[in-house]
Structure formats: C-alpha cells, structure tokens
Structure 1
C-alpha cells in the first residue's frame, strides 16, 4: 500500500486538492480532520492533560486561553503517530492520499509528501470566509508558524499557494510533484471500486460530524448542519459535490443505501 501525504496550515486548500486527486486516480482519501474526535478520545484515554482540559472547558473558556495553551490542546504534535496507526488499519486494496494540518515531516516520507503553503493574504481571505472566533485565528496563526518551522527543518517539498491558480491548476502541480511515484500505483479501476471509495470518504465526513455533535458542549445538530459530499457516481472525471444535511448524508451513506448522486449523474 502506497501513501501520498499533503500537509500544510489551515486555509491551504489541502482537502480540496486531496479529494480531487483521489477521485481522479482512484485513491482512498484520508482526511485527518475526519479523525479529530477519535484522536481526542484516544488522547483522553491515555491521560493526556491538554486533551482532558480541552474537553473540560466551555467553548468560550477554551478560545480565551493563551495561545501556547491552545497549541498544546490542539494535539498537533501528538496526532502524527495516531494518523500513522489509522493508515495501517485501512484496507490495503488501493493507495491512499492522506491530508491534514497534523501531518508532519516526521511521519511523511519526503518522496511521497508535499506541503501546501498559502501566502498570508490568501490564508487571511480564506479563513475570514469561515467566520471563526478570535481564539481560532490565534490557534491557526500558531499552527502556521509551527508548520513553517517543521517544513524548514525537514527540507520537504512545498508548493506556494498564492491565489493565482484555481483548484484544477493546483491539482496539476500536485500531480507533477508526485509524477515519479503516482503512475502505476495500486488504485481502484472499476466503477464499483471507485464508488466504494467515495462512499467511505463520505461516511468519514458523516462520522466526524456526528462525533462532534455528540460532545456535550457542541452547538447545533445533524439535521441543520450542511456539509459537502462527493457524488458517488464513480465516473473517473466527476468532481461534483452535493450539499446535504449531516442527517440526510448519514442515511444516504448506510451500507445498503443507493449511491449519493449529483443531479443528472448515474451510478452505472
């Protein structure tokens, strides 16, 4: 099983590019964000003080914490081995594209890894669109500095995200960066195999959202939270997304449910 890694700070476009790469090449997409709460539960079970404190605080108290404490509670430095364990537990039938802010050079082989680094202007614009609390912006700034230091020390491949390219153009550069290793890797070949990977990816988003809403302090509910899910038609060049409530997607990604399809798309 081969794994390609895409790291970078928040707002770099990692998830968008990784999902496009996975869909084009028949790879399994692994998003570290979809494992946030599972990793937090692992850290709590292991007695990690910062993880325990995070859960004990209310959202207002949490985001008012000093920046160094926010960084510690983010578990950025602890999640790399958890990600490695997740990947070892996945089926070995096809290769994987793994992406996420917690991915560090210590866990990602340099020949199969790339870090997307947004310019400050691009990152500010993208994060401003998310309407985040001030504490989140402080945490993201700290993570950006931490990742820049990791990248500089690791001597890894990077791609500057300056806002001058759309997702398709960025994807082409990522493919170029992986050109020596990507061709010929084990991948989904049939439509059914691609559909199964898309279903697994969509379900991981559902599970992440449900795990969040299960937190006693979490606002909202799955009926009113809308997320983007990949069309499961399985066509190699399909990039369509569906906007669905988490509750609807949960029903739609059950094992016996029909594929989630964008309007006009077919499963066969």
Structure 2
C-alpha cells in the first residue's frame, strides 16, 4: 500500500519551511520543498508558452515588481504550479513518506484522504517576519501579502484544515500543532530506518537547494555570484537527533555523485 504525502501550505512568512524541516529531520521523512523547484516549474511553463511565465521573463525586475496586483499574482504562477507539484510528488518513491511544503500547495491538488494543513500568519505578522529576513523589493512584499489573502480565502472555501500562527506562537508550538494534526499519518507512514537512508534524504534536500540557486543565477536577468551566495545546508551526518545546519556558499556544497557528506563542526557520520 502506497504511503500518502503530508501536505503543508501557506504564504511566505508563515513558518511552514521551518516546521517541515524539523519534522522531516526528526522523523526521517523526505522533504519536498516547493521553493527549490521554482525555476524548474517556470521552465515547464515557458516550454508550454504560458503567457504569464513568458511575460515574467521578458520584464525587468523593476517592471515585474511594479506590475498591478492582478498581474503580479498571475505571474507568480501560484495556481499553475500546484499541478506541477502534484506530478513531482506522485513520481517520488513511497518510502519513506514525503512531507510536501510550499506556497503553491493548493487544496485542489491534495487527495481526499491525504493529511494537509495550511499555516496562516496573523495580520501584520507576515510582514514583520519577512522584514527580519532582510530587505525586500516593495513588489515582493506586496506579492507575498496577495498570496496570503489568496491562500486564506482558498482554504476557507475548501473547508481545509488551517493553523493560525500568532505573534507569540513559538516554533515548538507550531511543530507540535502540526504533528498533532498529522498524528495518525505520522504513526503509520514509513520512515528512514538507517543512518545511510537519512543521509541520502538530507543529501537530496541539499542538492535541491543547490540546483535552485544555480538555476536562479543562470537566468539572463539575474545578477550576483553563486560562489558568494551563502545558504544554510542540513548537516548530513545521519544522526536521528541532528538538527544542525552548515552555512556554505552554494557552489561549495559537495553535491556531486559520491561526494563526501557535508558535516557540521564536530559531527561525524553515524553507522
């Protein structure tokens, strides 16, 4: 019997990536992070000549982020990426189970009996959280707020399970609440049972991060240097209780076939 995916949706700034990261690493599950497929999905839409995908690439960043609200939302491909995510997830192995997380996770792509929850930040919390991450173009913040409204309305229209995230909601509380919602599925779903399996899951997740950044920097309108872009990668030691991250330039991750595990300081691979 196949193992159903566990779905976590919500707008940027809701904390869904943090929750998914902790659950999957603690429990030895696969993490499908929709953000790491952004440019792959956009390339699929471009190949299909989707007008909003074509328009996005033709505009300069300044033109793109100053577009009217409706155009900004359309160019995000929020609706179009949902079925692409579903196709990606259905193609993954059944074991271990997959936690699917991302803003384009819409109720329409979730199977009838598959566990799903949408994290929705309280008014104002999303903007404050995003501001703490660093400066954003005004259009970016506007898009994220539009997506929050869209996702909230969509979840309500479909009677989806919603978890409201408030200013005083801690990470531990959010994780505990999601695990309670997923309790039955988590008890039954297959997980990685060996350190080698855990390392393989962590390497796959890290490689997806590398691919995402390289694809971004390859865009003709993109600026910056992938060798200077530092991101947090998961430690690949394989210990069940390891939640360490390793800040590293994108191009420095040993993601090639047969590359050594990426280890946090003082960590070693476990048997």
Q: Where on the TM-score scale, by shorter chain, does this alignment land: which range?
A: over 0.9
> SS at 1:78's partner residue?
helix
Distance (whole Å) between structure 2 residues aligned to residue 239 and residue 154 of structure 1 = 35
- Rate the CA distance shift 1:100–1:256 in 2: closer, same or farther, 3 A: same
Structure 2 partner of 1:66: 68
Structure 1 partner of 2:130: 127
> SS at 2:164's partner residue?
strand
Distance (whole Å) between structure 1 residues aligned to residue 101 and residue 214 of structure 2 = 21
The ranges of structure 1 where at least 4 consecutive aligned residues each deviate by more than 4 angstroms after the TM superposition are none
Provide Cα deviations, 1:108-134, integer angstroms capped at 9, x if missing partner: 246500111111232111111231101
Q: Which residue of 155, 175, 181 corresponds with 1:151?
A: 155
Aligned residues: 266
> SS at 1:152's partner residue?
helix
**Gapped runs of 5+ residues in structure 2?**
none
Structure 1 partner of 2:10: 8
- 1:202 aligns to 2:206 (yes or no): yes
Distance (whole Å) between structure 1 residues aligned to residue 98 and residue 180 of structure 2 = 17
Distance (whole Å) between structure 1 residues aligned to residue 72 and residue 164 of structure 2 = 26
- 1:102 aligns to 2:100 (yes or no): no
**Gapped runs of 5+ residues in structure 1?**
none
Structure 2 partner of 1:231: 235
Give the superposed CA RMSD: 1.1
> SS at 1:183's partner residue?
helix
Q: Which residue of 112, 135, 140 corresponds with 1:136?
A: 140
- 1:220 aligns to 2:224 (yes or no): yes
Distance (whole Å) between structure 1 residues aligned to residue 222 and residue 14 of structure 2 = 26
| 2:127 and 2:141 in contact (8 A); partners too | no
> SS at 2:87's partner residue?
helix
Distance (whole Å) between structure 2 residues aligned to residue 267 and residue 169 of structure 1 = 30
Greater Cα shift, 108-117 or 16-25: 108-117
Distance (whole Å) between structure 1 residues aligned to residue 225 and residue 175 of structure 2 = 34
Structure 2 partner of 1:172: 176
> SS at 1:126's partner residue?
helix
- 1:75 aligns to 2:60 (yes or no): no
Greater Cα shift, 48-57 or 116-125: 116-125
Greater Cα shift, 33-42 or 126-135: 126-135
The within-5 A match list for 1:1-40 is: 1-40=3-42
